[in-house]
Amino acid sequence: MAKTDTKTRILDTAERLFAQKGFDAVSLRNIIASAKVNLAAVHYHFGSKQALVHSVIARRLRPINGERLTNLAEARAKSGRRPLKLERVLDCLFRPLFRVQADPKAGPTFARLVGRVMGERNEGLHKFMMGELAEVIIQFGAAFEAALPGLTKEEADWRSHFMAGAMAHTLCNADLLVRFTGTDADASDYESTVRRLIDFTAAGFRAKVSPPTRPRKKK
């Protein structure tokens, strides 16, 4: 079997197991047994379990982030000197992610994998993720600032934090919508999901800023 085929088999197997059980719960022994390869093959292609984890995530995330940045750059070029509308910026951020989720082959595993990344308290993994997202954060942060000139940085940071939570929850927990409300959340209809998430998030970004709460005086 060609080396590239072996590498892909290891990546596919590791992705499936990590998504099912979590990064810490899966050992290299589990991966090589399921992939039917030897430990030397894993070390040859990846060097370590940590490097394998990073490769599994990067394989899915880098194309998404590349598409996000390309879409944003094209939208800026079309807009000229005018700042992009907030909804257009959000569309560039959300659409590539939910298009992958809608893929019947890769989507379900990818969504679970993202849930593991978000939920596990792994300092090394979070540091790696920040590196992968660095350019996205810079470029989209500037686009949000231009689209919302009246919003302070502190308030924009909070609202971006809420946006990330809504995005991750929608991606990873679509089944909860059906289970608790009966409303269909068909992942293949990602256009509707993106539209609703844009409407919700844009309203949150534009919400009136409440005055700071003053601490109550002690009696």
Alpha carbons 163 and 151: distance in angstroms, whole number: 15
Identify whether residues 38 and 70 lie together within a single domain: no
Give the tens place of pLDDT for each residue, 103-136: 888 888 888 888 888 877 778 888 999 999 999 9
Look-up of token digits 């880098």: 62
Alpha carbons 110 and 18: distance in angstroms, whole number: 10
Look-up of token digits 């924009």: 156
Which CATH number goes with the domain that contains 190? 1.10.357.10
Identify whether residues 120 and 27 lie together within a single domain: no
| Residue 217 domain flag | no
Average pLDDT over residues 86-91: 98
Identify whether residues 144 and 65 lie together within a single domain: yes
User: Quick one: how far is CA 62 from the chain centroid?
Assistant: 10
Identify whether residues 21 and 104 lie together within a single domain: no
Count of the separate structural domains present in the chain: 2
Identify whether residues 37 and 61 lie together within a single domain: no
In terms of C-beta density within 10 A (0-12 exposed, 13-18 middle, 19 or more buried), how is residue 219 classed? exposed
Query: Which pTM value belongs to this model?
Result: 0.86
